[in-house]
Amino acid sequence: MGTTAAFFDVDGTLTTERVWRGVLDYYKLHKQRRWTQSGYWIYHLPFWLLHKAGLLSQSAFRTPWAAHLLWFLRGDTPEQAQPVWDWVTAEYMQGLWRSEGLEKIKEHKAKGHLVVLVSAGPTPLVARIAQEVGADMAVGTKPAMRDGRYTGALDGLVCIDENKAALARQALAEAGIEVDYAASWAYADGSTDVGLLEMAGHPVAFFPDEYLKPIALERGWPVVE
């Protein structure tokens, strides 16, 4: 028998606000990476409008959105980028944590379950959030590095859709942890989390958005609202 795990999405599941906004707010507040900020919004605004108009799927909109968040790290060492993760987690997120999600983490920890955060956010940010909420592992979108500095590009896959399950399984295998997926739990709020929910024997649509809720009801998954 393997370990029972509890997998948690972050945005909308453990929080009431999108964490990526905190990253952008950090650079705006500290007046850093202004050209990157402008380029990010100019590039993504048309896709956001198409998504809002129903002409672009949530997945097609969010995948490059998450990948290009790594642009802000270009040229920094992990140590130089650490204040971003610390500020987002300790400052920006104050008052934005979803208490029900944090309580679920405590419940699973009390049962001896392995708690794993799985998010489309940059891996170092997800790791900092995991530290804050008491999770055991963090899986996210990995930034590429060269000569000890972030390149601003992606190393591997964006942690979204079916990649969430694949990257979570990969991280656990690399850590030498055998998981009993049929006995495990998964909590998430969006349609881009379906792959993560399908991976666990006990999927829970946790404060689901308008895209995930009908999927959850159709499949008979528990819905927490």
pLDDT in tens, 70-97: 999 999 999 999 999 999 999 999 999 9
192-208 pLDDT, tens per residue? Answer: 999 999 999 999 999 99
- Over range 34-50, report the average pLDDT: 93
- Over range 35-59, report the average pLDDT: 91
126-146 pLDDT, tens per residue? Answer: 999 999 999 999 999 999 999
Q: Output the pLDDT for position 1.
A: 74
Q: Give the type of residue at 225.
A: E
Q: Is 156 exposed, middle or buried (0-12, 13-18, 19+ CB in 10 A)?
A: middle
Domains in the chain: boundaries: 5-219
- CA dihedral 149→35→41→27, nearest 10 degrees, is 60
Q: Write down the pTM of the prediction.
A: 0.95
Distance CA 99, CA 207 (A): 12
Is the pLDDT assigned to residue 104 strictly greater than 90? yes
- 5-219: CATH topology is Rossmann fold (3.40.50)
Tokens 């891996």 correspond to 123
Distance CA 182, CA 179 (A): 9
Q: Output the pLDDT for position 28.
A: 95
Is the pLDDT assigned to residue 30 strictly greater than 80? yes
